[in-house]
Chains A and B, each alone.
Chain A
Amino acid sequence: MFLRLVADSFRRRPRHKLLTGAALALGMAVATAALSVSLDVGDRLSHEFRSLGANLLVTPQADSLPLEIGGVDYRPVNAGAYLPEADLPKIKTVFWHNNIIGFAPVLEVPVRAWTKSSETWITPIVDAPATVVGTWASHPVALSDGSAFSTGIERTNPWWHLEQGRWFSDSAGECVVGTKFSKRDGVKLGDTLNIEGPSQNIALKVTGIIASGGPEDDAIVAPLAIAQQLANKPGQYRRLYVSALTKPEDDFARRSPGTMTPDELERWSCSPYVSSIAYSIQQVLSGADVRVIRRVAEGEGRILTRVRTLLGLVTFAALLAAALAVGASSAASVMERRIEIGLMKALGAGPGMVGFLLAAEQLLLALAGGAMGYGLGILLARLVGERIFGAAPQPSLLVLVVIIGLAGGVTLLGSAIPLRRAARYEPAPILRGE
């Protein structure tokens, strides 16, 4: 009898049910979209922040003081210490290797460069002191598990734009030049640059022109191997930039690992704080000094924390609006059934029975509407995610559970107030139409 009543109610007033169901589904779709986007957005934003560039800098421990002005190191090649390139794959063996999204070794060599103006090298049109920045553009690093990890300056410094041409290939005698260098010295794509280094001369083909807004605009960027050859420092580099996904630092993260209890040390090293990643890299690279680039790491941490709170609040607002919409529509759908309730009561149904019947109907609707809303919401989240972040969030089962629960809870809550009033109805005046 109970089931028949419920089924009958759906059959008899399909338009009403459809309308309430649609409101429910739409509300839940918004809730689903808000939840999935905000669950996904944290990771996406951390990745986005990595376009700020490397947040860790590795230099030799035994180094002399760099004489660096405006990003150019004026030390002679034979001053200071170097680090071995062969150690680099070890970076991907640290505990946080999945968080390390890129690294690039750099070796700078002061050189003289000229292009040939004619068939002879005797009358150069350009003869300028310049810097060769040796690095990886996109270099496969063989890892211990047999796979290759492709990394280089393109990953750590994504703001280096190729204005023309392409990046050099790591094994060829090629280079790219900074835009200011190219303008000042009239170097064009396809030119051959003749480079006189401290220990030998090399001719490089210009394959591209880059703009970085930094000192590289005035430099020649070449494969690391070429710079090593020029400086006669085979297999060595001077600086390493590491870009790692990190958790914003809090007070706990800023403590020195030396002062922690074993428990605290474990908790510290099991959180991807930038300082604990620095610590773990320091452990695998012998003779290296790993420093956090504070400006980037702290700026990133601060903004990320704020943006996350902001997004949390926005999600909450969207959930609240969705809950209100659903609650209001289910309240309205109970209110309009006063006459039916009056009739049921006149026929001897108790308030409990009436409430139970209506609640069952609402729950059924919530279930159907919630499930439909979830499907719709995933589509909406995909749309929003793609438009704003360029990638769709993965559908998550957790969201489905939360949404069905929310739909049920909100409809019941929305119906509860009119149901309580309905319980007090006197059947006679209602049936008289008063």
Chain B
Amino acid sequence: MYPLLEVQGLVNRFGPQLVHDGLDMQVAEDDVFGIVGGSGSGKSVLLRTILGLQRPQAGVVRIAGSDITHMSAAQLRGVKARYGVSFQQGALYSALTVLQNVQLPMMEHLELAAQERDELALLKIRLVGLPVDAAGKYPAQLSGGMVKRVALARALSLDPSLLFLDEPTSGLDPVSAAAFDDLVLYLQQHLRLTIVMITHDLDTIFRTCNRVGVIVDRRMESDTLERIVDNPHPWIQAYFHGERARARRGAAHGA
């Protein structure tokens, strides 16, 4: 049994700047894998590479066993129908309504009658906890939290088994962020999703992730959540045991 997502020996370089140098990463089925790293450590580049948006200088990215770095565009299209992505700013199509946004992947990949498509899209919109009357709205009319939920609904449009979330809770207030974490967990359990998320939010990591990969020194240190906090690397120590982390934990224990 191979891991659902596997990255081996990844090298990404922009001119003289080396972003990744032999990065390895493995995500097994049903994992919720959190990717953590300092600003500029190459989290987004890693995600873009995994999504096939850019080709690495060296290394292999396997999704469900097949290497996507050497695929033709047509083969890649087939793989892309199997995962969903929710981008940091939502990346909703501003000229389309919420319903049309959610339907767009279905139109491209599925043969469905218009009415079936409407009902399925509405189902996805309800699934992420949005009211049905949000379906006719345009992205500019939505609040930040709703944008994140619509982006999630669109990512779930084709019922992927692998879901990528880029900073799912950034820009949300703590209450909305917690609600979003709960939603992600609920969906993960009910739809049997494997989730890979980039996040800075310690609360989100402790609430949702079972494995965490930290990008340090252009490589990845990954482990289970319980063990990664004891990793001796100074950046990881500072991240999980720094001032802000302690304050949060203290508050959590006090409650």
A complexed with B: no
A interface residues, Cβ below 8 angstroms from B? none
Binding site for A on B (CB under 8 A): none
